[in-house]
Amino acid sequence: MALIKPRNYRNLLGSVENTEKAIKHVKDMFQENLSAQLALLRVTAPMVVLEGTGINDDLNSVERPVSFPIKDLGERRAEVVHSLAKWKRLKLAEMGVEPGRGIYTDMNALRPDEELDNIHSIYVDQWDWEKVIAREDRNIGFLKKTVRRIYESIKVTENKLYVEFPQIAPALPEDIYFIHAQELLDRYPGLTAKERENAVVKEHGAVFVMGIGRELSNGEPHDGRAADYDDWSSPNSDGYYGLNGDILLWNPLLESAFEVSSMGIRVDEKALRRQLAARGQEWKSELYFHRKLLAGELPCTIGGGIGQSRLCMFLLRKAHIGEIQSSIWPDAMREECHAAGIELV
């Protein structure tokens, strides 16, 4: 566990009560802005899905889901969701949503394998969103346009927050910078992936790193991605591969790049087969979600998750995600945080 304790840290909002008011302010404003920017309808989402259907998100394909048997289903096991990447696509097909419109939801997940630190908790809360697109919109230009709309929602929220809480001045740059993970490696060949992110985000303030999941020229992916939701293997018009990425903001308190969203254009039938083969997971093609996708029964979509506690933490200038959400932390971490003026909920 690596705990960052900013020197002379203090709560700019002055009290827990003001912090709670500001959290609600950010959440209400951002989801309203996001819904308007992307034409999204709020829907209710599950906390659990059945094991063995392929609906749960595999994340990096190594994290263990929380699972349990259900008495009235003959002890069939269910899993607490990691995220809703696949469920949302099934929901859009069920609703018959037309291209240009989509859904978003409050997603609450448990990820017990997270390494706990300033920005990672076993409890994950996101605005999970998904939008139906035309097949011809599966391109890098459409991806960038969508990223800019999300970034605009963040900036509008930051500016409105300043009106209510003037002690928190806006700090985000006017525009978000785009770079492919391979370009980033070429620019900083001697640095690790995290160090490369820190270098480029410190320079530009807000960055979208594209093409995450496919192996780069050094034989390693920039970061892990499951094979069956984001499309990280299709060629794009920039001469690189991948139609996905992460939104990263520079966090001066933590002095590091700060991920607030992972998103992308989702796999189509060809990309799914290609990526399952690349990961040696062809067996997944027999699972419920994968069968429907390969049969052409699911729409083309773009989607992602935007961390609720993460975004509040960034906009409210908090040093630890535990100042935003109530979760479980080691006693030693709680003691260290208290001594540093960081009061965990």
How many Å apart are CA 191 and CA 195, to the nearest integer? 6
Question: What is the average per-residue pLDDT within 110-123?
Answer: 91
Q: Which of 31, 57, 89, 325 is catalytic?
A: 57
How many Å apart are CA 257 and CA 204, to the nearest integer? 11
Q: Which of 83, 153, 234, 262 is catalytic?
A: 262
pLDDT tens digits, one per residue of 1-26 = 589 999 999 999 988 899 999 999 99
* 262 included as an active-site residue: yes
* 274 included as an active-site residue: no
pLDDT tens digits, one per residue of 75-98 = 999 998 887 888 999 999 999 999
Q: Which of 259, 308, 310, 327 is catalytic?
A: 259
pLDDT tens digits, one per residue of 213-246 = 999 999 999 999 999 999 999 999 989 999 999 9
| Domain assignments of the chain as residue spans, ordered by start | 16-339
* 246 included as an active-site residue: yes
* 57 included as an active-site residue: yes
- Tell me the CATH architecture of domain 16-339: 2-Layer Sandwich (3.30)
Q: Which of 31, 83, 121, 126 is catalytic?
A: 126
* 259 included as an active-site residue: yes
- pLDDT more than 90, % of the chain: 87
SS (H, E, C) the chain: CCCCCCCCCCCCCCCHHHHHHHHHHHHHHHHHHHHHHHCEEECCCCCEEECCCCCCCCCCCCCCCCEEEEHHHCCEEEEECCCCHHHHHHHHHHHCCCCCCEEEEEEEEECCCCCCCCCCCCEEEEEEEEEECCHHHCCHHHHHHHHHHHHHHHHHHHHHHHHHCCCCCCCCCCCCEEEEHHHHHHHCCCCCHHHHHHHHHHHHCEEEEECCCCECCCCCECCCCCCCCECCCCECCCCCECCEEEEEEEECCCCEEEEEEEEEEECCHHHHHHHHHHCCCHHHHHCHHHHHHHCCCCCCEEEEEEEHHHHHHHHCCCCCHHHCCCCCCCHHHHHHHHHCCCCCC
Whole-model pTM: value is 0.94
pLDDT tens digits, one per residue of 46-55 = 999 898 887 8
pLDDT tens digits, one per residue of 292-337 = 999 999 999 999 999 999 999 999 999 999 999 999 999 999 999 9
* 15 included as an active-site residue: no
Mean pLDDT of the chain: 94
Position 81 scores a pLDDT of 86
